Amino acid sequence: LLAGLVSSTALTLYFPRLSRGGEGRHVLLASGILLACSTMFPRILLVAAVINAGLFSSLLLPLTVMTVISVLPVLLHRRLAAQGQVQTGELLIKNPFQIRFALLFGALLAAITLIARALQEWMGETGVYMLAAVSGAMDVDAITLTLSRMSLDHLPLAITATGIVIAGAVNTLVKAGLAGILGSAELRLRVVLPLLGAAAAGLGVAWAI
């Protein structure tokens, strides 16, 4: 959960590699990944709403759906743990966050802010969505901040909300890919499908409302 407040991507890079170290541990690690990823959605909602309260109602439903779909498998994992089917033990958890993370985030935010305004003027709504997808693959916070600030000026709330959901969905798909490539077969089974479902459902709801 704490990792999700900072960077669930860093945890998604780290935990899948641990899943190759022991039988049964993949359930515990999968729960950690899903919880971290699910925390990202309320964080996005909070950040966007703090900057522009009008975004809250537009983002609430799609981000809630994405959160619920990500968390539901964790409840199943807890049931397995209660039945003694999960291997417990100590995990060596290193700190994946470094000062360079903050520096890179600052540079990314500045670049995305400039590109977002240029793309909106050049390509309109399509440009915003394209940037949201590309930016979301790397980091969802920078594009969330950028679009939320632009919504205070001239970017319509509907386009802003859809762009933020696109960024979150693409970021979720990237994490699913990381877990699938780096993790064990058991971890892939428990992480990839829920994350794919969360991304698809979030996009579907965003386009429908």
Question: Over its length of 209 residues, how does the chain's per-residue pLDDT go in tens digits?
Answer: 444 445 566 666 666 666 666 555 777 788 888 998 999 999 999 999 999 999 999 999 999 999 999 999 988 877 766 655 555 445 555 554 444 544 454 555 556 666 666 665 666 788 889 889 888 887 888 889 989 999 998 899 999 999 999 999 999 998 898 888 888 888 888 899 999 999 999 999 999 97
CA–CA dist 145, 141 (Å, integer)? 6
Q: What pLDDT was estimated at residue 121?
A: 65
pTM of the model: 0.80
Structural contact between residues 208 and 188, judged by C-beta atoms closer than 8 angstroms: no
Q: What pLDDT was estimated at residue 76?
A: 81
Q: What pLDDT was estimated at residue 18?
A: 67
Structural contact between residues 109 and 145, judged by C-beta atoms closer than 8 angstroms: yes
Domain chopping of the chain, boundaries: 2-208
Structural contact between residues 71 and 38, judged by C-beta atoms closer than 8 angstroms: yes
Q: What pLDDT was estimated at residue 4?
A: 45
The residue assigned the tokens 């541990």 is: 25
Q: How far apart are the first and last CA of the chain?
A: 29
Measured CA angle at 108 (ends 4, 176), to 5 deg? 40
